[in-house]
Amino acid sequence: MLNEITKEAEARMKKSCDSLVEHFKKIRTGRAHPSILDSIQVSYYGSDTPLSQVANISVEDSRTLMITPWEKNIVPDVEKAIYKSDLGLNPATNGGVIRVPMPPLTEETRKGYTKQARSDAESARVSVRNVRRDANNQLKDLLKEKEISEDDDRRGQDLIQKLTDKYVAEVDSLLAKKEADLMEI
């Protein structure tokens, strides 16, 4: 029973970290990276489809993404989807190829993105701590029902605290890495 609670808690904490990684992918750094366009949906034969499923996205140089749609007739739809996204990108079409230059980040923009990254990281930390609270409450309930001993309760709380420390440290390292990327000129 103790193992089930700790495994569930660890799985939920890992999901919080994975979610943070996804949030960080949406924060644009100065360099071109295909994952920046992951959130873009293109209208393809009447249904919204992820851009990566209708086109090849590659890095042309450090500041330019090159998008090659599988079908030439969807080039305007891809271009429109990129314009509509809240990423602030301006695609340029050249025949069947769309080039997306990454504008350089100003100091103000960098600070704004860093603030957003810190906010996302704090949300992930809170999520990890909420998982710890839920797991500790489950242990207390089991102790009240006399299904586990006080020693098992203490051991379980220690295990969950170690997991919490591990995942909070992972969130901190992800944040430090993202901040370094954002501040790199």
* CB < 8 Å & 24+ apart, contacts of 10-15: 10/163, 12/131, 13/127, 13/128, 13/131, 13/163, 13/164, 13/167, 14/167
CA 117 to chain CA centroid, Å, is: 10
Strand, helix or coil for residue 153: helix
185: pLDDT strictly greater than 70:
no
Per residue in 122-180, pLDDT (tens digit) is 999 999 999 999 999 999 998 898 888 888 889 999 999 999 999 999 999 999 998 88
Task: Spell out the alpha helix ranges (H) of the chain.
Answer: 2-26, 75-84, 107-144, 150-183
**What pLDDT, in 10s, does the model give residues 100-116?**
888 777 888 888 888 98
**pTM as predicted:** 0.73
In order of their start, the domains of the chain are 2-26+106-183 (1.10.132.20), 34-101 (3.30.1360.40)
- 25-45 confidence digits (pLDDT tens): 877 676 777 878 888 888 888
